[in-house]
Amino acid sequence: MKGDNLFGLKLNREIFLQFSRLIREKSGVFFDLSKMYFLETRLKRRMWERGISDFISYYDLLKTDYSDREFKELLNEITIHETSFFRIRSQFQTFSDFVLPELIKAKVDSKNPYLSFLSAGCSTGEEAYSIAISVLEKIKFPSMSMDFNVLGIDISIDTIEKARAGLYGENNVSSLSEDVLVRYFERVDGNYKIKDFIKNRVLFKYANIYSDMDMSGIGGFDVVFCRYVLIYFDDSSKRKALANLKKVLNPGGYLFVAPSESYNVPDSF
């Protein structure tokens, strides 16, 4: 069968650069030459699935598939999804102690008691649910007088499905206190499932922060978390993604990036 004889196939520099350019153009994610072997193995996995036995045919498929279906499958393979609940505790502390009280007060004063949060590059959902738990810890009883929602977006379809399921193993929740586990999770077959009252406030969907079209479909966020996403972008892609994030953030809103990414954030923030 086509695709069976991929074993000895090697990506050369020229074809690697073609793929790298295409991936950057469509997603912002940048592969330099040090990632050649990584990309080669991931491309071969997809080629095997599709029964394709040479890189150029696979490249042509990506270029001509206007639905981007195969490109999304490839993105599942090449994106890094590492995440955890309350990743970088100090940021969540700042979010709870400083950002949330200020926002809640401003919303109450303006008689617009609704808060909206974005987890951009949400991976399997831990960040979005950590935001929701932090907010629930503050406002205790969401109601007409103060309510909120969280949107998680990602370009990896597999992770979005996992995020929607909200089902986590023992290892994923090991950093959470017993208190938090009891309040926000139920036990399902030895795993931990996010309870429905949180899930109802957290939505997940496919969207690419690098795409003007995807980002024009969302907006009005009081706080955007976009952490450990921009590190995979080159400088010009970072600028474009940050400009898109600025557009979806309410005036006076907050952006959280990972500590190593902060030097990329322009003064306009």
Residues near ligand SAM, by CB under 6 A: 27-29, 79-83, 87, 121, 123, 127, 153-156, 159, 208-210, 227-229, 232
Q: Which is nearer to ligand SAM, 81 or 138 (CB)?
A: 81
- Residue 178 is encoded by which pair of tokens? 């017993």
In angstroms, the CA 128 to CA 148 distance is: 12
Burial of 6 (0-12, 13-18, 19+ CB in 10 A): middle
Q: Which is nearer to ligand SAM, 52 or 118 (CB)?
A: 118
How far apart are CB 37 and ligand SAM at their closest, in Å?
A: 20
Q: Which is nearer to ligand SAM, 133 or 155 (CB)?
A: 155
How far apart are CB 121 and ligand SAM at their closest, in Å?
A: 3
Q: Which is nearer to ligand SAM, 100 or 209 (CB)?
A: 209
What's at 213, amino acid-wise? Answer: M
Q: Is the dihedral of CA 203, 204, 208, 214 positive or negative?
A: negative
Question: For the sheet containing 114-120, what is the strand order?
Answer: 202-206, 147-154, 114-120, 221-225, 249-256
How far apart are CB 119 and ligand SAM at their closest, in Å?
A: 6
How far apart are CB 159 and ligand SAM at their closest, in Å?
A: 5
How far apart are CB 23 and ligand SAM at their closest, in Å?
A: 10
- Beta strand 202-206 with 249-256 is unpaired
How far apart are CB 189 and ligand SAM at their closest, in Å?
A: 25
How far apart are CB 180 and ligand SAM at their closest, in Å?
A: 17
Compute φ and ψ for 102, nearest 5 degrees. -65, -45
Task: Map residue 157 onto helix, strand or coil.
Answer: helix
Task: Map residue 221 onto helix, strand or coil.
Answer: strand
Do 243 and 212 meet the contact criterion of CB atoms below 8 Å apart? Answer: no
In angstroms, the CA 19 to CA 12 distance is: 11
Whose CB is nearest to ligand SAM?
121
Q: Which is nearer to ligand SAM, 9 or 80 (CB)?
A: 80
Q: Which is nearer to ligand SAM, 42 or 107 (CB)?
A: 42
What's at 105, amino acid-wise? Answer: K
**31: which residues sit within 8 A by CB, 6+ positions away?**
16, 19, 20, 23, 24, 38, 39, 78
Q: Which is nearer to ligand SAM, 20 or 123 (CB)?
A: 123
